[in-house]
Amino acid sequence: MSQFTSSFWDFYIGLITLVSVVACAVFLKLQSVRKFAPGEAVETTGHTWDETLGEYHHPLPRWWIWLFYITIWFSLGYLVLYPGLGSWSGALGWTQVKQLEEENAEADKLFGPIYARFEKLDLKQLAANAEARAIGQKLFLNNCAQCHGSDGGGGKGFPDLTDNDWLYGGDPETIKTSIMNGRNGVMPPLGAAVGSAEDVKDVAHHVMSLSGRTHDRARAERGKSKFDTICAACHGPDGKGNQAIGSPNLTDQIWVYGSSEEAISETISKGRGTNQTAEGASVMPAHKDKLGEAKVHLLAAYVWSLSNLPGGTAPPGK
């Protein structure tokens, strides 16, 4: 990989960029020179269509030429001031990260007092506060909806936040901890430990039986012993899971990756959280550095409200 991080590429990119800009200026100059004296017949380019329709070699309009020259000078000035020539950072020292940090600092200065006003309030109090919930909803849409959906309903591989089933616990403080520090759930691939593909299906049918789903009774009975030996360590002998380690409850009707024989067999064989696919990452990123505790406090209250508002009604906009 060293050849791709060599300083040669900085020089290569900078040279091509500058040559391209200068070449535009040279080409423009060549196309703006008159090829004939006033009063002489205008030369053609030699292209003729329909026997008599010729293409004359008129110079470009002066106003258009000067506009083009202005863009060339502008581009050269831009390359001096801003990054664009390999590793050259520009005379102004501008970077995307620096601009983002400045904009975030300005936003924190402007809106910080609003977040601070709610920071010391109890999370359940915030969940009942319409103003706080509206702010939390905006934070959710900007930071969480990409995975959990704009309504918090989740999707395949991403938990539903509107029910009362929680992998790590659904009390307000636990939700806040999940948002602050993130979660990294891992279901290891157990295909080799379980045995053949038929053995995996047997365990899958036992898992299906735990939640009362339609299953093959004979397969479920054969799969129970392997479940007790291999799976019960995390999910418990009764399959009710363990929130301390984020192990799902297999006895309810809530499935993050699907409840079919195929989906459960795939989970057993290949695991979850052991690859980088969108449906297998099982990673909840930490938001403490990105949002800060005051914003996470409001966000946690909003997430808790999705499944705990009085009467089970949805918050505004849900």
User: How far is the C-alpha of 318 from the C-alpha of 316, rounded, in Å?
Assistant: 6
**pLDDT single digits (tens) 49-80:** 777 787 777 777 888 889 999 999 999 999 99
Statement: residue 213 has pLDDT above 90:
yes
Q: What is the mean pLDDT of residues 74-92?
A: 91
User: How far is the C-alpha of 40 from the C-alpha of 194, rounded, in Å?
Assistant: 92
Out of 10-14, 52-56, 230-234, 254-258, which region has the weakest mean confidence (pLDDT)? Answer: 52-56
pLDDT score of 161:
95
Tell me where in the chain the CATH 1.10.760.10 domain(s) lie.
100-182+287-312, 191-270
Statement: residue 278 has pLDDT above 90:
no
pLDDT score of 58:
72
pLDDT score of 42:
66
pLDDT score of 316:
42
pLDDT score of 280:
47
Question: Class of the 100-182+287-312 domain?
Answer: mainly alpha
Statement: residue 288 has pLDDT above 90:
yes
Q: What is the mean pLDDT of residues 25-44?
A: 73
pLDDT score of 23:
94
pLDDT score of 206:
97
Superfamily the domain 191-270 falls into: Cytochrome c-like domain (1.10.760.10)
The mean predicted confidence, pLDDT, of the chain is 87
Our CA angle for 166, 202, 230, nearest 5°, is: 60
Contact 137, 316 (CB under 8 A): yes
pLDDT score of 34:
63
pTM above 0.85, yes or no: no
201 confidence band (pLDDT: 50, 70, 90): very high
